[in-house]
Amino acid sequence: MTNQEIEKEEQQIREQYEALINGCPRCSIPENKELVDKAFNLSFNAHKGMRRKSGEPYIIHPIEVARIVTEEIGLGTKSVIAALLHDVVEDTDYTVEDIKNMFGEKVASIVDGLTKLEGAFDQTSSIQAENFRKLLLTMVEDVRVILIKLADRLHNMRTLGSMPDHKRLKIAGETLYFYAPLAHRLGLYAIKSELEDLSLKYEHPQVHKNLSQKIRESEEKHEEFINNFKAPIEERLSNEGYKFTVLGRHKSIYSIWNKMKAKDLPFEEIYDVLAIRIIFEPKMQLPEKTQCWAIYAMITDLYQPKPERLRDWVSTPKANGYEALHSTVMGPSGKWVEVQIRTERMDEIAERGFAAHWKYKGQKEKESELDKWLEMIRELLDNPDSDTLEFLDDFKLNLFSSEMMIFTPKGDVKVMPKGATALDFAFDIHTEVGYKCIGAKVNFKLVPLSYELKSGDQVEIITSNKQQPKYEWLTFVTTAKAKARIKDAFKEERKKLVNKGEFILEDLLKKKRLTVNSRILKKLLDHYNISKRDEFYFALGKGNIIIDNLSKILSTKSKNKWVRYWKLNFSKSDEKKDEPQKKSLILTDQEDEIPFTISECCNPIPGDDIIGYRDEQDKLIIHSRKCPHAIRLMSHQGDRIVSAEWESHKILAYLAIINISGIDQVGILNKITKVISDELTMNMRSIRIDSHDGVFEGTIHFYVHNTADVNNLIAKLVKIKGIHNVTRQERINQ
């Protein structure tokens, strides 16, 4: 680098650091400023000469993370110092002990929590999952660890474009699976939305590009609509003497895409892409809740509300502390608009989540739902022997689920995730209540343990001292706490049965002069349709499985109707010889000896965005990028992920499914089959049409070469008079 380039770079670093100090009022206090300067200088010198994939000096990253920590989350000096130092222990010769000596025990503890795990792991374990677990362990002691980690992840996502494709997929996958839901649970809505949008950008670049373009194209029209919509609201609020701000915005790209998928609708038919937020300064003489409802009454005087879309999180805040009143109303030109009503305090909690929660703690006497949630995580983490991947899945279940209010017989409120059962509720009260539970009364009516609760239910748990926990309960409980407690009850018994099953198999194989190996286990797991080795041994030890045809099972060739033989090409974008699994796969029709399995859970076809996953037997399995199972694999086992893409696809045919609906007319079925068989000469496997009250719905299974064939058929079918909706169904068996 020339002297001029070095000077320019140093100037950029100085400007970024000054912006950090200016954005952190508490950092400007002399004694704090001295410590922040000390942390910056240590980090700058420790990372000297290091560069990120983008080419910029590495020190820019910790500065940007520290800026997010203070400007977007609202944390203070210790967090800024920890953010500046968060990669020092991992990437340089400094130790946690060094940090402790220079900056104190609290900063060292936070930095330690942010440092990735080192050392060897069992091959069947996941380093990613172990790292998440360590983060959570530290989080329950000091939640700033996870808040700084979220800031770190946000900056990494903002600069993800410079990473190779397989790394982008891994990072985007784990962000969507773990970090975005965690940001949601901690009330960081702005960060959660940005993480989701950026994940979509890298997992489905074309989808993100198309939706961004559609939003940009509609911006001018929507801005005019928002101005017309909010003008009478602003007039009413001013007349009532309120100090307020009315903001209009689009919903996030990811939330629009999610709604399009869930409702099978195009962008143009998503009715509530616009939201209006009213943030007001409450008047001293009235409670905040009363004023929120008063403003709601003013709005519904002006616009007709949609009753089923009213959400009251003022009376009962969400578990992450979120408070607001939401309603959807009919605006001008027949458009639905979501209106959110918040005080300034509520808005700060909504934007800054847990950081603002601590600021206002003490204003309300009762323990917050967020405190209860952290206590629940602490309980789950008390079990050091639990399987990490299982723990993470159980934990994930309760991260992003909708919430419902359940009442005890005395009228106390319990916040439970949507889908929780009567037994989940029993374990939420106390572990022993869960173990002894034999049934429940819901709204004074007797129901079984598996009964799925609804918001507003009043639940009385019925117990008996004779009741013992049952392993089968795991099939219908949904909360992480219930699952963990049931597994705890069976831990010792399960361990004995797993060992017994292992001994039974070894004994059977010994008689045939064989020993246990991965190939034999794979055949047995496939035969009994079991995914995990321990589950197989457990079933064998318990007697649920009796192997009386071992020779036949071992002699069976592995068959899978979705296996295709492809020519394997490696792209030139990544030529590291020691990491062949990281290279980009290009799949073509040309037959070769290397097999790939097309996953049945999502059934991707040529033209879909795909990834490859290399399993424990080194087989490559092709998934659709939006398959929930693939997202889980990217978050848990990112090192086994391979970026992949289709090339030519004109020989082999793939099964595709479309859903079709419309107005029932004479001859409509004939018109549909004529388009498929005669005009497009496609091979149709089956067609099912149900008609009721003049409307028909149906499903068609047919064979195609690629997504272009599917899109062509959809375009032809929607032109038939009477057909209203045609969409592709991606087979996802969860």
* pLDDT tens-digit series, residues 595-614: 678 887 888 888 888 888 88
Residue 561, pLDDT score: 39
- 108: which 2 tokens? 């060292």
Q: Is the pLDDT at 387 greater than 60, yes or no?
A: no
Q: How does residue 362 score in pLDDT terms, banded at 50, 70 and 90?
A: very low
Under a CB-based contact definition with an 8 Å cutoff, are residues 147 and 75 in contact?
A: yes
- 437: which 2 tokens? 């539970």
Q: Is the pLDDT at 241 greater than 50, yes or no?
A: yes
Q: Is the pLDDT at 572 greater than 70, yes or no?
A: no
Residue 233, pLDDT score: 94
Average pLDDT, the chain: 81
Residue 281, pLDDT score: 93
CA distance 671 to 723: 10
- 523: which 2 tokens? 């055949």
Burial (0-12, 13-18, 19+ Cβ within 10 Å), 524: buried
245: which strand partners?
A: 279
Domains and CATH numbers, the chain: 12-162 (1.10.3210.10), 205-360 (3.30.460.10), 383-489 (3.10.20.30), 492-555 (no CATH), 654-729 (3.30.70.260)
Active site residues: 90-91
Candidate ranges 77-91, 349-363, 657-671; pick with highest mean pLDDT: 77-91
Least confident span in 23-37, 243-257, 557-571: 557-571
Residue 567, pLDDT score: 42
Amino acid identity, position 274: L
Element (H, E) at 490: none
Q: How does residue 375 score in pLDDT terms, banded at 50, 70 and 90?
A: low
Residue 424, pLDDT score: 94
Q: Is the pLDDT at 296 greater than 90, yes or no?
A: yes
DSSP classification of residue 673: H
Return phi, psi of residue 345, to 5°. Answer: -65, -45
Q: How does residue 382 score in pLDDT terms, banded at 50, 70 and 90?
A: low
131 vs 105, which has greater pLDDT? 105
Q: Is the pLDDT at 401 greater than 70, yes or no?
A: no
Q: What is the mean pLDDT of residues 375-392?
A: 56
Q: How does residue 341 score in pLDDT terms, banded at 50, 70 and 90?
A: very high
Q: What is the mean pLDDT of residues 42-56?
A: 87
CA separation, residue 253 to residues 208, 249, 330, 716 (Å): 7, 12, 22, 29
512 vs 287, which has greater pLDDT? 287
576 vs 204, which has greater pLDDT? 204
Under a CB-based contact definition with an 8 Å cutoff, are residues 520 and 509 in contact?
A: yes
Amino acid identity, position 595: P
Q: How does residue 123 score in pLDDT terms, banded at 50, 70 and 90?
A: very low
CA distance 633 to 531: 14
452: which strand partners?
A: 421
Q: What is the mean pLDDT of residues 220-231?
A: 86
439 vs 285, which has greater pLDDT? 439
CA-based end-to-end distance of the chain: 53
Say which residues have a Cβ less than 8 Å from residue 104's Cβ, sequence separation at least 6.
Answer: none
Amino acid identity, position 92: T
Q: Is the pLDDT at 701 greater than 50, yes or no?
A: yes
